[in-house]
Chain A
Amino acid sequence: MGGRVLVVDDTLFNRRLLVRLLGDIGHETVEAGDGQEALAFLRDPANEPVDVVLLDIVMPVMDGYETLATLKSDDALRHLPVIVISGVDELSSVVRCIQMGATDYLPKTVDPEILRARIEASLAQKRLRDLERETHEQQVGLNDVLRIMSGSAFELGVVLDAVAHAAGRLCDADYSVAYLEAGGRFEVAASFGGSPALDAYERANPIPAGRESLVGRVALTAEPAQIDDVLADPDYLPTPGQSAGGYRTLLGIPIRRNGDVVGVLALTRNEVRPFDEAHIRLATAFADQAAVGIHNAGLLATIERQRSQLSRFLSPQVAELVSSTDGEALLAGHRREITAMFCDLRNFTAFSETAEPEEVLGFLRAYHAAMGQLIVEHEGTLEHFAGDGFMTFFNDPVLQLDHAARATRMAVAMRTRFADLSADWRKRGYVLEIGIGIATGYATLGRIGFEGRYDYGAIGNVIILASRLSGEAAPGEILISQRTYAAAEDAIDAATAGDRTLKGFSRPVPTYAVTGSLAAAVPEAMS
């Protein structure tokens, strides 16, 4: 393989002879009459880079020594091999040049065989270094994609763009595309390079599985596939995209998720030049990153869905508060007496481990729907809902004089509703029980969380007490604190349930178990 050689010599005679001989053995040449000219050429970004410099020592303007010293102190040119041209009687200058970083020397009385050998050796050295640098660049490219992924892990478009871009550039492809499966066909999700006509065609024509296309083939086999020359492949059916793009060699790597081909990373070259092992490995690494991106995007969709479901449980009052100007002060944080209710299920962990995931989700959906409805009916503020447990409080942000009674009434209604729900499940062999804890006391309320994910929440001993009581409650039991009992006494039926030693509380805590509620009517809220 020929190289590109810069011949630096002040005499036209030498340059002509060297240019001729180098041309004869297949090298391209450029010439410079002195060191300054050579440096200007090498530093001009408009010039195609050279592989080797042949440098005369004795020259006007800037001699070989100065040129060599300048090259070796220039980060961009330091690695360029330099062969000094020297007369046989100038070996001391050769030694000096080698010490300064010259690669080799060439006698002035030119011998084509020596010239060939020295140039080849320098080219081989340069190629090795280029290869190292290429490997390094590939590493950097992969790291770029990884960095983009960590920065925007849930933005699939950004990730796929980065993958298409890096894979196209580093695998030396003319056009690179990340296809995603949609309804049995593969659609362009991101692309890089390629003519506008080709890209437009690919975007407008999703590809089905099948041997007549590269993407189809990868979809069929779930394995990487390469078509060395689309025009010579018996099964490949050239498309208008092929005519528009003129590609010849194709490489396709499956993007797999849970064993399914969910996409294909395709790379094309507009000449018959199959991708080598290193490029295939690299493309595979990028396809794997695309798969991670798709997985992350799936997670995001799930989270978004859950959040939108949650928002249905959020009381309209809170939703209004969040968007009102008065609300800002409340959101900033305030202290108020509230009644907090914790509710969770007994045996839920065992249930979720033994039941099918679909059953667990089905159950949770019904449970959330039923409990949510009761929260809305009783105008409670739902703070969080996590799996089988949730926390609701009353008297904030909307003031409710009867907050203790309300919470207790809601708990009783939930217990009754849950009994209906769990009866069905009991028939299927799953015994699920509800446990509820209620406490009344002062809490700090307002916006908690961080930018992008704020909750309207409550912090305080009362919350901890309600949570502990819920943990203490026997299956089907509603345990309330003394203060709740005192406040709701007239509205509920409850019996003492003894003093309990609870984690985080220094003294035993008196508790009451609710048996039923007296008044069915829900008093009006105070706003």
Chain B
Amino acid sequence: MSDEPTLDPGALARLLEITGGDAAFVDELVDTYLDDALVQLADLERAGAASDVAAMVRPAHSLKSNSDNVGAVALTSICRALENDARAGSVPEAVERIAAARREFEAVRDGLLAARAARQGV
């Protein structure tokens, strides 16, 4: 999975396109994603620490689909695997994988904010 890109720039371009080029709205959407993601990661970490597999399903699922929409390719994959395993009832190395998800999220956030700064700089 490590060969997957952190961000697919096409996803943001697509969000811009389907909202009629409303960059301010896309910025808001990205902020919403970042806020939501922090909550979902915290939920995942709590479930991981408690080894509560069932409680991992929903945050993994939500983070997966939101990440997909902003083009966070690698994070989407990590979350999808977590969700699938959680549904199956067993998540090996849960704590480590959730930590990886957080690291990947931080990269995603940096990338998204950098892209915004680059756009606004132009």
Binding site for B on A (CB under 8 A): 10-14, 16-17, 20-21, 24, 58-60, 87, 89, 108-112
| Residues of chain B lying within 8 A (CB to CB) of residue A108 | 65, 68-69
- Cβ-closest chain A residue relative to B28: A16
Binary per-residue interface labels of chain B (22-63) against chain A in the complex, 1 for a CB within 8 Å, 0 otherwise = 100100110011011000000000000000000001100110
How far, in whole Å, are A55 and B12 apart by their CA atoms in the complex? Answer: 24
Those of B66-85 within 8 Å (CB) of chain A: 66, 68-69, 80
Report if A87-B36 is in contact (Cβ < 8 Å); known contacts: A16-B28, A60-B58: no
How far, in whole Å, are A110 and B29 apart by their CA atoms in the complex? Answer: 14
How far, in whole Å, are A11 and B58 apart by their CA atoms in the complex? Answer: 11
Interface pairs A-B: 6 shortest CB-CB:
A58-B61, A112-B18, A108-B65, A13-B32, A13-B66, A13-B33
How far, in whole Å, are A409 and B115 apart by their CA atoms in the complex? Answer: 124
How far, in whole Å, are A10 and B32 apart by their CA atoms in the complex? Answer: 13
Binding site for A on B (CB under 8 A): 15, 18-20, 22, 25, 28-29, 32-33, 35-36, 57-58, 61-62, 64-66, 68-69, 80
Report if A24-B69 is in contact (Cβ < 8 Å); known contacts: A12-B32, A13-B29, A16-B29: no
CB distance from A503 to the nearest CB of B (A): 94
Beyond A16-B29, A87-B64, A109-B68, 11 additional contacts (C-beta under 8 Å) are: A11-B66, A12-B35, A13-B66, A13-B69, A14-B69, A16-B32, A58-B58, A87-B68, A109-B69, A110-B18, A112-B18
| Residues of chain A lying within 8 A (CB to CB) of residue B62 | 10-11, 58
| Residues of chain A lying within 8 A (CB to CB) of residue B65 | 11, 14, 87, 108
| Residues of chain A lying within 8 A (CB to CB) of residue B33 | 13
| Residues of chain B lying within 8 A (CB to CB) of residue A10 | 58, 62
How far, in whole Å, are A10 and B62 apart by their CA atoms in the complex? Answer: 8
CB distance from B12 to the nearest CB of A (A): 13
| Residues of chain B lying within 8 A (CB to CB) of residue A89 | 80
CB distance from B108 to the nearest CB of A (A): 13
CB distance from A105 to the nearest CB of B (A): 14
| Residues of chain B lying within 8 A (CB to CB) of residue A87 | 64-65, 68
- Cβ-closest chain A residue relative to B60: A58
How far, in whole Å, are A153 and B5 apart by their CA atoms in the complex? Answer: 82
How far, in whole Å, are A16 and B36 apart by their CA atoms in the complex? Answer: 12
A17 touches B69 (CB 8 A): yes
| Residues of chain A lying within 8 A (CB to CB) of residue B20 | 24
| Residues of chain A lying within 8 A (CB to CB) of residue B15 | 17
| Residues of chain B lying within 8 A (CB to CB) of residue A12 | 32, 35-36
Report if A21-B19 is in contact (Cβ < 8 Å); known contacts: A11-B36, A12-B32, A87-B68: yes
**Pairs A–B under 8 Å by Cβ, sample size 23:** A10-B58, A11-B36, A11-B65, A12-B36, A13-B36, A13-B69, A14-B65, A14-B69, A16-B28, A16-B32, A21-B19, A24-B19, A24-B20, A58-B57, A58-B58, A58-B61, A58-B62, A108-B69, A109-B69, A110-B18, A110-B69, A111-B18, A112-B18
B66 touches A14 (CB 8 A): yes
| Residues of chain A lying within 8 A (CB to CB) of residue B32 | 12-13, 16
How far, in whole Å, are A60 and B29 apart by their CA atoms in the complex? Answer: 21
- Cβ-closest chain B residue relative to A87: B65
CB distance from B58 to the nearest CB of A (A): 6
CB distance from A38 to the nearest CB of B (A): 17
- Cβ-closest chain A residue relative to B65: A108
| Residues of chain A lying within 8 A (CB to CB) of residue B29 | 13, 16-17
| Residues of chain B lying within 8 A (CB to CB) of residue A13 | 29, 32-33, 36, 66, 69
How far, in whole Å, are A406 and B65 apart by their CA atoms in the complex? Answer: 109
- Cβ-closest chain A residue relative to B40: A11
How far, in whole Å, are A87 and B76 apart by their CA atoms in the complex? Answer: 12
How far, in whole Å, are A24 and B28 apart by their CA atoms in the complex? Answer: 17
| Residues of chain B lying within 8 A (CB to CB) of residue A24 | 19-20
- Cβ-closest chain A residue relative to B43: A60
- Cβ-closest chain B residue relative to A63: B58
CB distance from B28 to the nearest CB of A (A): 7
How far, in whole Å, are A180 and B64 apart by their CA atoms in the complex? Answer: 71
| Residues of chain B lying within 8 A (CB to CB) of residue A111 | 18
| Residues of chain B lying within 8 A (CB to CB) of residue A14 | 65-66, 69
CB distance from A10 to the nearest CB of B (A): 7
How far, in whole Å, are A17 and B25 apart by their CA atoms in the complex? Answer: 9
